[in-house]
Amino acid sequence: MSNQKVIDRDTHPINHQVVENIKKSNVNWKPFEVEDNPFKDLDPAEFNMKFGLLGIEKKDLQSNLKNLAFKHLKGFFDTLTGGKSESYHHEHENENKLRLKATLPTSFDWRTQMAACTHPVKDQNRCGSCWAFAATGFLQDRFCIQSGGSVIVDLSSQDMVSCDFSNSGCSGGWLSSSVNYLINHGVVSHECLSYSSTAGQTTSCKYRCDDKSTPYKKYGCRFNSMKILIDSEDIKQDLMTNGPSMFAFLIYSDFTSYNTGIYEVSNSAYVRGAHAVQVLGWDYDNGRLYWIAQNQWDTTWGEAGYFKIYDGQAGFGKTAISCMPDFD
């Protein structure tokens, strides 16, 4: 008897109906065909571990994070911003935004500005650790950028998965909590602590390197350097000045089929969860802003692991969070 898993393609998240709905929608991106999708053979439980974001800020420390319903995630952007629209801003603030917008380039991408400081695409695998990969990703790039290329370090996502007890390891995490961990504790290098949660198990915190001869050195953020931005012009200014940032957004049922183009939610797509990635830049498509992002689903997904997404789609661009590297 074969032990090979049997996939029910009709009920699997990667199915022909999803692909056909995308093709019928008036969207500016192309999906993977089912047979080419790198996630086609994951069972639904493994598939759901691709989305590990629980929210922006932890409001209730006593809540059961692992069982947080997706419907509650739909409102976490408004929870953060207080549901205020652009009309909330005062007139002089709008004038400042216009002046700022005039000084910013129409396109920017750290991969071309400082390629040596952008780390390769990684793979969180079957662990809901997007929050840890996005956090260590933007910080290691900022260490390199802010040092003029002299500090190049591959930071350990496993450190956060195993040792950040304010989050929930492979069961998910909160962006503000992850940045607080970078500020209060810092993380070691990947050389010190390699990624071991590929199968979805949150391994225990070691407080030492895999190889005892490797120095146990922490890399973190300066105190009081956490920054949460909700305005696209402020976000662009921060990206260009300080380096990549971490974005939160909702995952719709069509997103995992993304292959190439500029993503926007297609017809009939529905919310499956929430996700965190790092953003490297922006550009415009016929006057419409879109962001350039690096995912952590390996290079077989999307545009060699990257994707482009229109501003505001699935909440993308509504919240950016970061901190500044501590060189002391």
Q: What is the C-alpha separation between 312 and 130, in angstroms, rounded? A: 20
Residue tagged active-site, from 127, 130, 144, 323: 130
Residue tagged active-site, from 117, 125, 295, 323: 295
Q: What is the C-alpha separation between 179 and 246, in angstroms, rounded? A: 10
Does the active-site annotation cover 125?
no
Does the active-site annotation cover 180?
no
Does the active-site annotation cover 127?
no
CB atoms within 10 A of CB 32: 21
**Structure token digits, residue 209:** 């390197």
Q: What is the C-alpha separation between 19 and 260, in angstroms, rounded? A: 13
Q: What is the C-alpha separation between 31 and 38, in angstroms, rounded? A: 12
228 neighbors 319 (Cβ within 8 angstroms): yes
Residue tagged active-site, from 117, 242, 275, 323: 275
C-alpha closest to that of 44 among 13, 3, 10: 13
Q: Please list the active-site residues.
A: 130, 275, 295
